[in-house]
């Protein structure tokens, strides 16, 4: 049996075939990097902003054309543009409109996914995003929440609060837009109860989609310094798999699971090593679901 509602299944249900997401690096930044709210970004983030770094060598348009050519050759016929790196609503409106209009480059682009921060959404930006949904694209906005706990958000230098997230979430929903929420397990000072409290809060909102991440440590970040000083210990694979399995059981059955684990850059990763074996991570999560007879929505209320 399918124990959770995966993005692959959701897209097949919607479009009748597999759809490929194309990651685009637009070369933007974040307000906790450029001095607006602070410098350095989140304590776990490196200079690439959890993205590809492709903006340094290819324009966004070149990235789109290159990836479509590559994936078309592999048999994909439909594509969703994923604006991934940094905050893709953190620029002047005319810049954002030009960026989002990359969706017009090819008739087989059917969707637009926009990754950003809760404090980078306002009425004008929500209306701009809605314009593309009104044009017939399947649109969703990915909000990086990470945790509902403000003390955690302060410690990791997010520069926003849970209240900021709720405001952005409800604004986007008021426009009829889908919202996918990113959360991170294993943040410093968080207990298992705190992590599951984040999932329960999102469950009560009946979010459209979720991405689970395990906190990992990359080189030349504040997290690396904490780890090397012995002040932080990453989650074990067993603990992470258990957390994800229990979280899935708390979620509404219709929430789309976009991601179950992190994809750390192999050359930059300091710890934990188990994240490099994605198949093993997914296997562990599925085994935990089966052994405990859990499935998405089992404890949703």
Question: Domain spans of the chain?
Answer: 7-291
pLDDT at 55 over 70: no
Closest CA to 211 of 112, 145, 282, 137: 145
Q: Which of 57-61, 111-115, 288-292 has the lowest mean pLDDT?
A: 57-61
Report in angstroms the alpha-carbon separations of 48 from 27, 64, 204, 272: 9, 19, 33, 19
What is the model's pLDDT at position 49?
Answer: 55
Residue 87's pLDDT band (cuts 50, 70, 90)? confident
How much is the average pLDDT of 127-151?
A: 98
For the domain with range 7-291, which CATH number is right: 3.20.20.70, 1.10.150.50, 3.10.450.40, 2.115.10.20? 3.20.20.70
How much is the average pLDDT of 235-255?
A: 99
Q: Which residue has the higher pLDDT, 36 or 11?
A: 11
What is the model's pLDDT at position 44?
Answer: 84
What is the model's pLDDT at position 34?
Answer: 58
How much is the average pLDDT of 12-35?
A: 86
What is the model's pLDDT at position 52?
Answer: 63
How much is the average pLDDT of 51-64?
A: 82
Mean pLDDT, rounded, of the chain: 94
Contact 161, 209 (CB under 8 A): no
pLDDT at 288 over 60: yes
Contact residues for 260 (Cβ-Cβ < 8 A; gap 6+): 4, 212, 244, 281, 282, 285
Report d(CA 67, CA 22) in Å as an integer.
7
Query: Sign of torsion, CA 117 200 189 226?
Result: negative
Task: Tell me the whole-structure pTM to 2 decimals.
Answer: 0.95
How much is the average pLDDT of 25-44?
A: 74
Helical packing angle, 278-291 and 237-250, nearest 10°: 60
């Amino acid at each position: 049996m399918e124990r959770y509602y995966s993005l692959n299944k959701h897209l097949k249900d919607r479009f009748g075939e597999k759809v490929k997401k194309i990651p685009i690096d637009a070369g933007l930044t974040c307000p906790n990097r450029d001095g607006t709210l602070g410098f350095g970004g989140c304590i776990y983030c490196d200079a690439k902003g959890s993205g590809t770094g492709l903006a340094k060598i290819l324009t966004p348009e070149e990235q789109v054309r290159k990836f479509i050519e590559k994936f078309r050759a592999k048999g994909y016929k439909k594509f969703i543009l994923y604006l991934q790196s940094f905050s893709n609503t953190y620029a002047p409106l005319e810049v954002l409109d030009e960026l989002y209009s990359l969706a017009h480059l090819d008739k087989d682009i059917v969707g637009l996914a926009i990754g950003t921060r809760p404090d980078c959404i306002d009425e004008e930006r929500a209306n701009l995003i809605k314009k593309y949904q009104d044009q017939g694209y399947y649109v969703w906005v990915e909000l990086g929440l990470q945790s509902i706990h403000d003390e955690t958000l302060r410690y990791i230098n997010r520069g926003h609060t849970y209240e900021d997230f709720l405001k952005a979430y409800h604004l986007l929903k008021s426009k009829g837009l889908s919202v996918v929420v990113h959360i991170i397990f294993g943040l410093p000072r968080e207990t298992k109860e705190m992590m599951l409290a984040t999932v329960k809060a999102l469950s009560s909102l009946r979010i459209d989609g979720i991405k689970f991440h395990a906190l990992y440590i990359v080189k030349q970040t504040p997290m690396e310094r904490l780890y090397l000083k012995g002040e932080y210990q990453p989650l074990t694979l067993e603990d992470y798999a258990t957390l994800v399995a229990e979280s899935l059981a708390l979620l509404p059955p219709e929430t789309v699971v976009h991601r179950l684990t992190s994809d750390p850059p192999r050359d930059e990763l300091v710890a934990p090593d188990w994240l490099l074996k994605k198949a093993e991570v997914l296997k562990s999560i599925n085994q935990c679901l089966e052994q405990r007879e859990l499935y998405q929505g089992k404890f949703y209320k």
